[in-house]
Structure 1
Amino acid sequence: METRSSKRKKILNASTKRPKISSLSNDHDEEDRISDLPDEILHQILILLPIKSIAKTSILSKRWKNLWNSFPDLDFTTVNTIANSSIAMTSKNVRKKERFYVLKGSEYVDQILTLIDKHSDIRVLKFRAFLSFSRLNHLVRNAVKHNVQELDIEVSTSDYFNFPRSVITSRSLRVLRLKSWHPGFRLPPLETMRDGFKLLSSLSLSRVILHDQPSLIDLFTNSSFPLLKKLHLEALFGLKQLRITCPFLEDLSLESCFQLLELEICVGRLRKLKVLSCFDAYSVRSRVKIDAPNLEILLWSYNAVTEESVLKNLHLLNEAFVGFFLLHEDLSVVKSQSVSNFLSGISNCRSLTLDRQCIEILSKNNKFAGVSLCPFNKLKSLEFSTGFNKHNNSGLAKCNNIIQWNKELWELPNSGEEKYWESQIQNLRSFLHHLKVVKIHGFTECANDVTLVKFLLKHAKVLQELFLFTCSLSKSRESLLREKIKSQIMGFSRASSKAKIVFE
């Protein structure tokens, strides 16, 4: 039998007889394979690092120094953040340390730009800083001189500044984002703006001062932005009239334009539209017109009800979220008709979400009583977020072909509930014939809620799922009582054999 010691000796002898690794292999292992990669691939690797780390690689060798000088994507947002800086600079109690940090960050951007080879192009330049207008212009001119394709600027200044005109004349720029944190910037005359941006595909402007030129009717047109695909406008102070007809526009976002009176959108290729917190609620001559045959997603939230609404050709609308801002419950007859026209304009959508005030307009307002809506024949999903009372059933009856219905709270009277709901069968017939999924949030397991569940199960002929999300009050009840209520609900008769009840 071979002992352990003899076995170890055999292994040791065998290892001494192995051929030595050639010096050529050692040389091969010491090769710098990363440095031998093409510049384009190394640039893609470096882009994953913060800008400071990328700059430090320039000291490794002459090869890496050339890489830094030719690096096309400069993102200085990792060096300085404007959020804290702008707050610090606008405060009366600015500490010297904070001021030094902000200025140091902007000077760092200048220093890096001067190091770039004069013949190198910049693909992307992003920075956030507190800057003077002269320093901002210097940075923009440098970027344009190096044929920048994407320029992302987020700045705060000590005073209003003018839009950098060197950007307008750029022939390389494709993407532009300019945001002012404080206090804002002015646009040049529209004649000057219309002469540039011929190759721009994406534009975002935030905090623009337009008191001297409240109308942008002739700016966003085919002649000014022939290739624009994405447009984001936010906080345009003083803007009253806006018309957008860019032929290739696909994504449009408009936010916080509270003084807006007239909005006209006529774009054949538009696919996504978002309008948030716009229109003057006190206006008596506000209007909106949307003509977008390829629109797929519409987000219309917290906007004041306009006097006139014209939405047409929205045949491909897939998702729509609608919310209105009301200063008071009672609408004028004109604005009630405008709400009706707006909802009728989106009647081809497949998924619809209505916010709480929208349901209140449909249900509680007497001036809406004689207004009818177009049927939502293509609707597959409908969600409500509402404090619901039984007088809101008229609002539900107006939106037929309902498939999904969420609620937050039910406040029903304590007597005659079953008779009341049975009396509403005719008004809710279309609703009940298309209802497939019901989700009741805040289910209290009280008699009123149970009566409603019984009514839905009895008359919803195509119901597939009924979700009952119990509230904390209900969960605190005695478990035996809760089980008794559940057993009672499970025993209710069902118009649909596929109806499934789920307790959450």
Structure 2
Amino acid sequence: METRSAKRKKMAQIVENDAKTATDRISDLPDAVLHHILFLLPIKCVAQMSVLSKRWKHLWCTFPDLDFRTLSPFQISSKNIKFLDFEKPRQPLDSSRMDYITQVLSMRDKHSDIRVLCFRARLSFSRLNGLIRRAIRHNVRELDIEASTLCTDDYFNFPRCVIGSESLRVLKLRSGFRLPPSSVMRHGFQSLKTLSLSLVILYNQPSLPDLFSESSFPHLQTLNLDACFGLKYLHVGCRAIEDLNLEKCYELEGLDISCAKLERMRLVKCFDAYTDKTSVKIIAPKLKLLCWQNNALTDMAIFEPSDLLHEVTVGFYILTRYKSQSKLQSAVDLLSGLSRVHSLSLERPTIEILSSNRLLFQPFYDLKYLELKTAFNRSNVPGLLCVFKSSPTLNTLILKIMYEYRIERKEWNRDLWDMTITEGEEFWESQIRTLESFLQHLKVVKIHGFLDYENEVALAKFLLKHGKALKEMVLYTGHCNVRDTLRRQKIRSQMMGFSWASSNAKVAFQ
């Protein structure tokens, strides 16, 4: 019988023989598979692996995804760049970084295409243009560049070499730059699908009525414009666009959107609040998601309702000095265009405008989920009532209370719960008939920032007393000291002590 010692020696011999005859199975994988694996690593590691063998050097020279954004200030050596030494920087960060990027592009195989090129640097326009030209010659499909000029008072001119590229699918350019005339950009970008432009200088051409058209961008699906300085009027009419993002266009006075396939739109911090000649027109029959946040009210709004509209966030404001009937009517038109929405979120300034003005708009007949952000002082209660009355089939109400210490709030008189009716309760009790449908459908209520103040306690009590379909109410009280905890425990016990309209309702304090 074979002893244990002999068996161990036999196993050791087998392992040793296997090690001698082992093959490098990773290196035998196809280039496309190895490129996909290397894509998951920082580019520094990919470059360092090129010294392992001729096979890995070939992989580095044909690597299609060049993302240089992971390079840190102390990872590039200008002296030993040829030998991929990342330890001792000898030149300023941006100079050595750009030397390295130039070296990588120049050593590539002539027939190896670039799928992705991303970098962040401070450089001259001629050097930026040269790098982009090299990438275009390698049929780059995605360019993601954030660049700043060496001279702080200067701007880039838009690199024209990208306009006629037939391979480019994604272009993301963030820098202070000027667009060329529309006549130059028109009929270019015939293959582009995603365009993101940030920090655009448009004082010399404040109107872009015909740039984003079907002829200029026939296949464009995603358009992002951020911080377009000097832009007064913008028209977007690309038929293929599905995503549109417009942000920080503070000087915008006119916006015209007519996109048959648009599904998602986001407008943040746009429109000139100091003029009375602003307008917006949106024709998007397939729109599903809309984020209209922190925008100044326009004087005219044309928004054709979409039956597919599902989720909307609305936040507009108006300066008291420039308040006019036309701006208020614009708010009515905008809200009426959302009549088929399923999920709606209203920001605090919107609630304040609805509270201070008697605005009548079409009800949200299909609305099931509603989120409201408000300071919930006495002056904002009419705005809440207005929204409740316009939500006859609502299922879920989320109320997020934002407090201001400068506003004095009236605490709930916990000792008079069953002895008297407060002003807040009296107000809500007087609205039972107008809120009848609302109270018959409401099932879930969540109030964040719930404290022992009269307004929120009165509303919570009213919903419990008359919400016939109510199943769940969650009151988030947040952190409090010992004294506040005892006070809230008493309020909790009192809220549990009166008759509720729904026998299935459950109340939780968190």
Q: What band does the TM-score fall into relative to the shorter chain?
A: 0.7 to 0.9
Alignment match of 2:168 (pick from 155, 170, 173): 173
Partner of 2:366: 378
Q: Which amino acid aligns with 1:200?
A: L
Contact 1:235 1:257 in 2 (8 A): yes
Contact 1:240 1:259 in 2 (8 A): yes
Contact 2:275 2:322 in 1 (8 A): no
- Higher mean alpha-carbon deviation, 482-491 vs 390-399, is at 390-399
Mapping for residues 209-220 of structure 1, pairs under 5 Å: 209-220=201-212
1:398 is paired with a residue whose SS is helix
Over 3 Å counting, the alpha-carbon distance change for 1:117 and 1:446 in structure 2 is closer
Contact 1:304 1:325 in 2 (8 A): yes
1:248 is paired with a residue whose SS is coil
Percent of residue pairs identical: 51
Mapping for residues 353-432 of structure 1, pairs under 5 Å: 353-365=345-357, 369=358, 371-399=359-387, 400-401=390-391, 402=394, 403-408=396-401, 411=409, 415-432=422-439
Partner of 1:352: 344
Q: Report the Cα distance in structure 2 between the residues aligned to 1:258 and 1:325, rounded to whole angstroms.
A: 13
Over 3 Å counting, the alpha-carbon distance change for 1:99 and 1:251 in structure 2 is farther
Deviations 1:84-120, CA, capped at 9 Å, x for gaps = xxxxxxxxxxxxx998112111111111111112222
Q: Which amino acid aligns with 1:416?
A: E
Contact 1:70 1:117 in 2 (8 A): yes
Over 3 Å counting, the alpha-carbon distance change for 1:336 and 1:111 in structure 2 is same
Instruction: Give 1:447 shift.
Output: 5.7
Q: Which amino acid aligns with 2:230?
A: G
- Higher mean alpha-carbon deviation, 397-406 vs 248-257, is at 397-406
Q: TM-score, normalised by structure 1?
A: 0.88
Partner of 2:5: 12
Whether 2:458 is the aligned partner of 1:454: answer no
Q: Which amino acid aligns with 1:428?
A: L
Partner of 1:297: 289
Whether 2:155 is the aligned partner of 1:163: answer no
Alignment match of 2:57 (pick from 58, 61, 65): 65
Q: Which amino acid aligns with 2:397?
A: Q
2:66 is paired with a residue whose SS is strand
Mapping for residues 438-477 of structure 1, pairs under 5 Å: 438-445=445-452, 449-472=456-479, 476-477=483-484
Q: Which amino acid aligns with 1:226?
A: P
Q: Report the Cα distance in structure 2 between the residues aligned to 1:39 and 1:170, rounded to whole angstroms.
A: 26
Q: Report the Cα distance in structure 1 between the residues aligned to 2:61 and 2:145, rounded to whole angstroms.
A: 22
Over 3 Å counting, the alpha-carbon distance change for 1:128 and 1:446 in structure 2 is closer
Mapping for residues 98-497 of structure 1, pairs under 5 Å: 100-157=92-149, 158=151, 159-180=154-175, 184-328=176-320, 331-365=323-357, 369=358, 371-399=359-387, 400-401=390-391, 402=394, 403-408=396-401, 411=409, 415-445=422-452, 449-472=456-479, 476-477=483-484, 479=486, 482-497=488-503
Deviations 1:351-399, CA, capped at 9 Å, x for gaps = 100011101111113xxx2x31111011011111001234434323333
Q: Report the Cα distance in structure 1 between the residues aligned to 2:304 and 2:312, rounded to whole angstroms.
A: 14
Contact 1:172 1:199 in 2 (8 A): yes
Q: Which amino acid aligns with 1:502?
A: A
Contact 2:410 2:454 in 1 (8 A): no
Q: Report the Cα distance in structure 2 between the residues aligned to 1:352 and 1:132, rounded to whole angstroms.
A: 47
Q: CA RMSD in A?
A: 2.5
Q: Which amino acid aligns with 1:375?
A: P
Instruction: Give 1:471 shift.
Output: 4.8
Over 3 Å counting, the alpha-carbon distance change for 1:355 and 1:494 in structure 2 is same
- Which residues of structure 2 form unaligned runs of 5+? 74-88, 404-408, 413-421
Instruction: Give 1:22 shift.
Output: 9.7
Contact 1:163 1:185 in 2 (8 A): yes
Equivalent pairs, count: 473
- Which residues of structure 1 form unaligned runs of 5+? 1-6, 82-96
1:234 is paired with a residue whose SS is strand
Over 3 Å counting, the alpha-carbon distance change for 1:19 and 1:238 in structure 2 is closer
Alignment match of 2:36 (pick from 25, 36, 44): 44
Q: Report the Cα distance in structure 2 between the residues aligned to 1:206 and 1:155, rounded to whole angstroms.
A: 11
1:476 is paired with a residue whose SS is helix
Contact 1:80 1:105 in 2 (8 A): no
2:290 is paired with a residue whose SS is strand
Contact 1:241 1:260 in 2 (8 A): yes
